[in-house]
Amino acid sequence: MKSMNTKFNTKYIRLWFSLAVLFVVGLSFVVSAQTSGAALPSNAPRVSGSFEPDSIGIGDRFTYSIVVEKDLVQTVIFPNFAAAGGQEFALIEDPAVDTLERDGRRLKIRKSYLLAAFQEGWHHIRPQVMYADKNIIDTIYAPDTLELMVNTFQIDSTSHGLFDIKPQKTLPFKLGEITGYIAWSIVGILLLLALLYAAKRILAHYGKSFDTIFKPAPPLPPHEEAFAALERLRVLNLCADGKHKLYYSTLTDILRTYIVRRFDVGAMEMTSDEIIESMRGVELQQKQSMDLAMILREADLVKFAKAMPESSEAEAAMRAAWEFVDATKPVEEIAQEEE
């Protein structure tokens, strides 16, 4: 009998001990939930917030402000409504952080958001910020929860019936709708005709017409174009700057272009030897043939063998090119110049 009583007491002791353990564990969870910020230091930032206004219609805008009082060296990060997709609020404007007060090391700042709400009913928000100081990174909440009331429109379907959308109505065309446009178009056409007539009379006074204005200028004769290009090359004085290759390349291009236009020889696609061989079929004096061959071969040495002629040799090549063009220009032009 005594043994049975001992076993009965032992069971009750184990039961009461288990209940006590569960009570202590549950109490610890409650205390930790109610004092989640207890681990933060005493100088941790203080957070508060407000809605302005706190009651709006659906789709209306309101201002949500978060105010933080913190030490100067502490860092806080405000919520990012722009990156929070699927929220009950839509971000309209995200101004910069404002500094409200500064007292020594204490700083009071405010972050405001212009938001819009599209879900009716009561919305509960507890202002919060991320807090970082030395080895501490945590979320700090305001002590109070803010409430926002979003009202919607009440549709009275009992006293007013619902109607379908009316179909598009086509109105009859009236001439008066375009009379003004027609009148102004006629005035504009008459003014344009008057301006064209006046311009024609003025051009006729100077012996010209519209055809002469818009007609492109005739191309220069081959030798005049070559003389102008040679003069431009001479003024550049490329050899004095050590640009011998550019100088001789430009000089031979001028001669090739002149030969194409003057003798109808495809010199632009030919090598120097091919040009010299093709020009054998053209009636040239021996000096002209020798000058052309000298210029082309000297240019090949500069372009491909990196030769560096003296300035006197470059000037001699320029004179030879000028004399070649002057001696081979069309006879008609020579006759006109003599007259």
What tokens does 325 get? 């063009």
- For the sheet containing 146-151, what is the strand order? 55-57, 146-151, 121-125
CA–CA dist 170, 147 (Å, integer): 52
Q: Which residue has the higher pLDDT, 18 or 106?
A: 106
**Residues in Cβ contact with 233 at an 8 Å cutoff, skipping those fewer than 6 apart:** 247, 250, 251, 254, 318
Omega before residue 53 within 30° of 0, cis: yes
Q: What pTM was estimated for this model as a whole?
A: 0.41
Q: pLDDT band at 258, cuts 50/70/90?
A: very high
Q: pLDDT band at 278, cuts 50/70/90?
A: confident
**Confidence at residue 220, expressed as pLDDT on a 0 to 100 scale:** 85
**Confidence at residue 11, expressed as pLDDT on a 0 to 100 scale:** 58
pLDDT, one tens digit per residue, over 63-76 is 999 999 988 888 88
Q: pLDDT band at 230, cuts 50/70/90?
A: very high
State CA 278 to chain mean position distance: 55
**Residues in Cβ contact with 177 at an 8 Å cutoff, skipping those fewer than 6 apart:** none
Q: Indicate left, alpha or beta for 270 from its phi (over 0: left) and psi (-120 to 50: alpha).
A: beta
Asked if the 46-151 domain carries CATH number 2.60.40.10, the reply is: yes
Q: What percent of the chain has pLDDT over 90?
A: 31
pLDDT at 7 over 60: no
Show me where the domains of the chain are located.
Answer: 46-151, 179-215, 222-330
- Percent of the chain as helix, strand, coil, to the nearest 5: 50, 20, 30
